[in-house]
Amino acid sequence: MLTGLVASSALFAAIGAVAHSTGGHVDHTHAAHSRLPGRWYQEPDNKVEKLFRRFSDDGTQYAEVGGEEWMAAFPTGIPDVNATPKEWIDALNVAVQAGKIPNIPPSTASTQTNPVYPDGMDPNGPEICSATYKCRTDREIWDAPDGVLGISFDDGPYEGTEMLLEYIGANHVPTTHFLIGSYIRMNPTAFEAIRDNGGDLAVHTYTHRYTTSLSNEEVVAELGWTMEIIRNSTGGRIPKFWRPPYGDSDNRVTAIAREVFGLTTIIWNQDTEDWSLTTGGTTPQAINASMTEWLNGPKSPGLVILEHELSTMSVQAFIDAYPVMQSTGWNIQSVVSIYGDSPYQNAPAGLDGEVKAASVVPSGNDSGSNTGDDHGSSSAAPESVSTSASAPPSTGTG
């Protein structure tokens, strides 16, 4: 989702390019880039910054965010599965042996195609139930409750983050940030600004790949390292929610997230396509028209709108729409707060309150044991499946 933003760095060569196009979209390359230019917040050693940067922690002495020790603790690009912590792989193996992870082969995902499964397997069938094809189960969240509008932004910290934080801070907008782990590592100051702004932090994988195309071990690495860099940078807080890049998940991937890490999957039910503003794939006028239609339309179900903090253009599209959100009678909430008291498995929402020391893998490998909600159920088979043979694949990029 970063086509045309900045020149690729050396990290781009390490990660590679992952391209995506569905439903007639223009080709969209999502690549990792270098740190954001300059410092747009107070330097970490600034006296004012030290005075106001306050948040509770779990009592562990963590390395300074952005320091050499902190940087060295996390992958520089696509995680090496051979370097995955044994605890995570052990938890995966326990879940597989218990029959909690469906034995679904990885898909093939490439430029200008939707994920394709081998041997003619039906992505809309109950065995696979691919979210890309808009197959739904009770194990994912797609809709907000009636009358509720869930706010969230994908792909931070990145170029639109400063502008977004300034606006949501001034207007007290409740927000969820679905964060890319490698971007946190590359842009630690921007991440700290997100954290200190008090928004809810959630997982968007480490390098933004199609998760259904990955092996079980690769899915574990993408989720685990993102959770770990968030935990190490927030005083020990462990996220409870994640959103798959491109909306690309299925029964296998959703089960890994839930059973290994206690994560609940959130998709969306409306897509602004704002990621393509910088490439000419859409326009502010088109987004305004869609927002006007959705916000003035029925309030059942509630709205979960896909938006991004990738660029100032995508953030401006939200800023233009927010007064309409307020004036049309929606109950505006951070999307993860709709489904639980906290975005974290071991701490209350916000920057205060007790943080219980914990691993990103729930203790005893009891899946969902940290979540405290119904979405942490351990059954691998979905309770119900909603599919539509005529429904187009998901057009969002996530």
User: Going along the chain, which residue ranges are E strands?
Assistant: 18-20, 28-30, 136-137, 140-141, 148-156, 176-179, 200-203, 241-242, 264-266, 270-271, 303-306, 331-334, 385-386
Nearest to 337 by CA among 328, 326, 348: 348
Q: How is residue 82 written in tokens?
A: 């051979």
Whether residue 308 lies in the annotated active site: yes
285 SS3 class: helix
Catalytic residue among 143, 154, 248, 271: 154
Question: Hunting for tokens 């808009």 — which residue is that?
Answer: 134
Which has the closest alpha carbon to 219: 247, 257, 184, 245?
257
CA distance 335 to 305: 9
Please name which of 250, 224, 262, 255 lies closest in space to residue 340, comparing C-alpha atoms: 262
Alpha helices in the chain (DSSP H): 10-15, 47-52, 68-72, 86-97, 161-171, 181-186, 188-196, 216-233, 251-261, 284-295, 312-327
At which residue do the structure tokens 């065995």 appear? Answer: 127
Judge whether 154 counts as a catalytic residue: yes
Distance between CA atoms of 278 and 383, rounded to whole angstroms?
Answer: 40
Number of C-alpha atoms within 13 angstroms, CB side, residue 135? 20
Angle, to 10 degrees, between the axis of helix 188-196 and the axis of helix 216-233?
70
End-to-end CA distance of the chain: 8
Query: What is the bridge-based pairing of β-strands 303-306 and 148-156?
Result: parallel
**Residues 15 and 8 sit within 8 Å (Cβ to Cβ):** no
C-alpha closest to that of 304 among 313, 294, 317, 292: 294
Tokens coding 256 = 């890994």
- d(Cα 315, Cα 95) in Å, to the nearest integer? 40
For the annotated catalytic residues, the residue numbers are 154, 308
